[in-house]
């Protein structure tokens, strides 16, 4: 299995672990999302100081507005965090 395949499998396993706690097994409730963020992305939360900010983040992630985060919406979160943490700015090519 390649590194990318392992990473994708890890994302799915993490999502499934937290999604299985309450509600539907194929989506994260607001509580499950908060728990996942607190436990798995503590560096992200260092700048989020209150529940209102967490609610705003959840609502921004909930693209289809069903009050749950599905795997596709979760992947968007992970991608956004990766871009912020690793820098996704396109470098201008010189030539």
Domains of the chain: 3-86 (1.10.238.10)
Q: Kindly write down the DSSP assignment for every residue of 11-64, as one continuous string.
A: HHHHHHHHHTSSS-TTEE-HHHHHHHHHHH-HHHHTT--SHHHHHHHHHHH-TT
What is the rounded distance in angstroms from the CA atom of residue 57 to the CA atom of residue 50? 11
> What confidence tens digit (pLDDT) does each residue in 78-88 have?
887 777 766 66
DSSP-based three-state secondary structure for 2: coil
pLDDT at 14: 96
pTM for the model stands at 0.74
> What confidence tens digit (pLDDT) does each residue in 13-61 have?
999 999 988 878 899 998 898 889 889 988 766 666 666 777 777 788 7
How many CB atoms lie under 10 A from the CB of residue 81? 15
């Amino acid at each position: 299995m390649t590194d990318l395949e392992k990473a994708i499998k890890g994302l799915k396993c993490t999502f499934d672990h937290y999604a299985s706690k309450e509600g539907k097994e194929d989506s994260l409730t607001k509580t499950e999302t908060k728990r996942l963020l607190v436990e798995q992305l503590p560096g992200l939360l260092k700048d989020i100081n209150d529940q209102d900010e967490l609610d705003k983040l959840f609502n921004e992630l909930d693209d289809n507005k069903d009050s749950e985060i599905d795997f596709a919406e979760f992947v968007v979160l992970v991608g956004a965090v990766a871009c912020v943490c690793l820098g996704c700015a396109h470098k201008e090519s010189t030539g």
